[in-house]
């Protein structure tokens, strides 16, 4: 890795992967963007725009879209921006490489209930590992609007190497060595965002939304503690910061999914009509199962799971939550 010109590759050309490619290509001779879809490669190669997932944003000409795994494996830094449930398969497909892996996806693996960093360590134990997570909407990052987020590294030496490459004038990473905390914040907030969307879609009011955010954050803290995350990490950009952003805007795929549920649209209908992934829908049942196994009380997550599974309607879920025993706010 030399100066600020290490060879960077991004795996995953959805909206977030494309936005990361745009911001990180600044100052680079070339950045490789691996896309699963041949048509995305063609769009970016011919018009310098990802018209499918990030329309209206012209990409820098030093971004080269590819489906060449060998070229990607030759990069020194790889950002993985695949759906969470596809991370293991992606790492298994990736040829042998010495690259530093930066995970930019949010979720918990369904088949194992492992955090994504645990999956990466299991499949690629010899590669340095970091997590990039925080309050970000892809279209704003692509526009160059001010953004701050967490770059969690296994040690300070890795941070020192990555920071000069990730930091840009409008893109500010903050260091953490709490890898688990950075992951848990992003995974849990996706589920809570669905709940906030339900509140909005059902017209339950701003009071209810604020209550859900704050009590949802308490659930995040409880679950994080059970998995070794630090409370100060979850109170930062990758936890509370991400939660506030995602629970406040239909630009969030998870919030918009919940809004549809709150309006009475069936989950199957909403999920089948999407070309992008709402990670919270796949994370919710995994999170619920793991929380129960660890004896962590997460009633809002339980409510979201019931709505996604079609086992309850909005009114019955709200009634159930409001009838819970009155306890100290610290719980």
Q: Where are the domains of the chain?
A: 8-177, 185-322
Distance of CA 115 to the CA centre of its chain: 12
Concerning whether 168 is annotated as a catalytic residue, the answer is: no
| Catalytic-role residue among 7, 106, 189, 259 | 189
Decide: 146 and 116 in contact? Cβ < 8 Å.
no
205-to-196, 211, 324 alpha-carbon distances in Å = 10, 10, 20
Long-range pairs of 247-251 with CB within 8 A, sequence gap ≥ 24: 247/189, 247/192, 247/193, 247/196, 247/197, 247/209, 247/212, 247/213, 247/216, 248/196, 249/137, 250/197, 251/137, 251/139
The pTM score is 0.95
CATH topology of domain 8-177: Rossmann fold (3.40.50)
Phi, psi of 223, rounded to the nearest 5 degrees:
-65, -40
Cα separation, 45 vs 65, in Å, equals 6
Q: In the chain, pLDDT over 70 holds for what percent of residues?
A: 97
The pLDDT value recorded for residue 272 is: 87
The pLDDT value recorded for residue 320 is: 87
Cα separation, 252 vs 79, in Å, equals 21
The pLDDT value recorded for residue 324 is: 86
For residue 323, name the pLDDT band (cuts at 50, 70, 90): confident
CATH number of 185-322: 1.10.1040.10
What's the order of all strands across the beta sheet hosting 100-103? 63-66, 31-34, 8-11, 77-80, 100-103, 129-133, 147-153, 171-176
The pLDDT value recorded for residue 6 is: 59
Our CA angle for 153, 277, 139, nearest 5°, is: 70
* pLDDT tens digits, one per residue of 119-145: 999 999 999 999 999 999 999 999 999
* pLDDT tens digits, one per residue of 282-313: 999 999 999 999 999 999 999 999 999 999 99
Q: In the chain, pLDDT over 90 holds for what percent of residues?
A: 90
Phi, psi of 297, rounded to the nearest 5 degrees:
-80, 120
* pLDDT tens digits, one per residue of 98-111: 999 999 999 999 99
Phi-psi region of 48 (alpha: psi -120 to 50; beta: other; left: phi over 0): left
């Amino acid at each position: 890795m030399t100066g600020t010109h290490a060879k960077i590759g991004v795996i995953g050309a959805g909206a977030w992967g494309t936005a990361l490619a745009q911001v990180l290509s600044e100052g680079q001779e070339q950045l490789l963007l691996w896309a699963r879809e041949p048509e995305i490669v063609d769009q970016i190669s011919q018009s310098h725009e990802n018209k499918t997932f990030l329309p209206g944003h012209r990409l820098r000409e030093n971004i080269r879209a590819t489906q060449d795994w060998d070229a990607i494996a030759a990069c020194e830094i790889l950002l993985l921006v695949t759906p969470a449930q596809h991370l293991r398969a992606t790492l298994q497909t990736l040829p042998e490489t010495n690259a530093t892996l930066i995970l930019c996806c949010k979720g918990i693996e369904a088949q194992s209930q492992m955090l994504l960093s645990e999956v990466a360590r299991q499949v690629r134990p010899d590669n340095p590992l970091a997590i990039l997570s925080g309050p970000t909407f892809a279209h704003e990052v692509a526009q160059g609007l001010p953004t701050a987020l967490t770059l969690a590294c296994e040690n300070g030496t890795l941070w020192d190497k990555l920071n000069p490459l990730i930091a840009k004038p409008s893109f500010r990473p903050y260091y953490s060595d709490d890898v688990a905390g950075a992951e848990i914040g992003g995974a849990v907030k996706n589920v809570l965002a669905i709940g906030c969307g339900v509140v909005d879609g059902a017209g339950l009011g701003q009071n209810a939304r604020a209550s859900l955010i704050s009590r949802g954050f308490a659930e995040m803290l409880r679950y994080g503690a059970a998995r070794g995350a630090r409370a100060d990490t979850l109170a930062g950009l990758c936890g509370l910061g991400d939660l506030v952003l995602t629970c406040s805007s239909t630009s969030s795929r998870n919030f918009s999914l919940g809004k549809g549920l709150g309006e009475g649209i069936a989950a199957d209908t909403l999920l089948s009509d999407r070309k992008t992934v709402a990670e919270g829908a796949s994370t919710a049942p995994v999170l619920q199962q793991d929380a129960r196994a660890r004896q962590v009380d997460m009633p809002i997550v339980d409510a979201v799971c019931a709505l996604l599974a079609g086992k309850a309607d909005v009114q019955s879920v709200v009634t159930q939550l409001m009838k819970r025993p009155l306890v100290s706010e610290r719980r």
